[in-house]
Amino acid sequence: MVDCTVEGLMHAPELPAILKGGARVLYVSNEHPEALARLVPDDTLEPLVKEHVKRLRGAREMRVSSPAGTDLTISLQGATCGGNWGYTSRPGTMTHWPGGLALAFPAAGSVNGTLVLAEGDVNLTFKRYLEKPVTLRVENDYVTRIEGAGLDADLMRSYISAWGDREAYAASHVGYGLNAGARWDSMALYDKRDFNGTELRAFAGNFLYSTGANEVAGRHTLGHFDLPLRQCTVRLDGSTVVDAGRLLP
């Protein structure tokens, strides 16, 4: 089944019944045709993603740091881990194109520390590159403070508070990009209504932090941020997988 809806069936209530019937669902993300043509998956992406999903599932802890000041600790015990490479051959599964990321939905009370969004990092809710740093203080999964001066910090504070829902401040999923063909700078080339931003989630070496719904932690909310960060170092049980924004072989 090829899903060409604008928002996708990924979170639709009908999806479980569709998958239970044995269908394979490919969601074609609402991207500019140029991006879809450029990011057609090849045979190298599937084994790479599977290897990193295996590493996530085998790890107890993820540590994330950056020169900008990020210092985040994420327990992976009890997390649900997965990945995507842009196609699926197994009945009862769903994927999306473009693909190329490995991620984890942590259990409740797993995320603590500081996340610093630096200049050039991405807020995909607004489809905007940050122009001034924003610091998020995270305690037991929840963003307790949004620090920073300027428009980027003001937009984040205003948007997330508008939901009137504490769960909008909580951690949804964390992960990192694996697609060498995806580009961080591509968002500058499109009008906002012409792309969905999946490429920015998947470019190799980014650290992706998301807030909002997390079924593994028993949290549901409509508020959501996807925040791909550059120049982060990601370690799994002390072993470096991303070094200052560079995906290690």
pLDDT at 29: 95
pTM here is 0.94
**CA gap 110, 172 in Å, rounded:** 11
The label of the residue with tokens 């995909």 reads: 124
pLDDT at 13: 82
Look up residue 242 and give its DSSP letter: E
Q: Give the chain's residues under pLDDT 70.
A: none
The label of the residue with tokens 């490919």 reads: 26
The label of the residue with tokens 């995320």 reads: 111
Look up residue 197 and give its DSSP letter: -
- In SS3 terms, 110-174 reads as CEEEEEEECCCCEECCCCEECCCCEEEEEECCEEEEEECCCHHHHHHHHHHHHCCCHHHHEEEEE
pLDDT digits (tens, 9 = 90+) for 187-219: 999 999 999 999 999 999 999 999 999 999 999
Give the total residue count for the chain: 249
